[in-house]
Amino acid sequence: QVQIVESGGGLVQPGGSLRLSCAASGSIFSIVVMGWYRQTPGKQRELVATVTSDGRTSYAGSVKGRFTISSDNAKNTAYLQMSSLKPEDTAVYYCNAVCRDSDRTPRSYWGQGTQVTVSS
C-alpha cells in the first residue's frame, strides 16, 4: 500500500507565496508521475500541475508562470511552489501519485488534501 501526505497549506495574502509538499511512502517500486490538483466547493477537481519521473512538467493555463512543480525522486516527494497568489487560487489542493509497486502495475493514489486560502 502507498500513502500520500501533503503539507504546506495555509492562509496567505494576495500576491504572496506558499510551498506545498507531497511525500509518497510505502510499497513503491517506482513513481510514474506526481501531480497537484485543486477543488473548490461545487466544482470538479482540476489539474494544476504534473511532473514525470524524468522531469517533464505540465501546467494549467491559469497557473503557468506563477506556479512551479518539482520533484525529488530519491525522496519520492513533489513540491508546488506557488507565487503571485490570487484569491481565485483558494481551494483544497490534492496530491496524486501514479506508482508502480512490486507487481509493476501502475496505480493512482491520492492524498487527503491541504487547504490554501488567499485572502487579505
Question: pLDDT tens, 13-60?
Answer: 999 999 999 999 999 999 999 999 999 999 999 999 999 999 999 999
Measured distance CA(40)–CA(38) in Å, rounded: 7
C-alpha distances in Å from residue 37, one per residue of 27, 46, 74, 85, 104: 23, 5, 23, 16, 25
Question: Given a cut of 90, is residue 82 above it in pLDDT?
Answer: yes
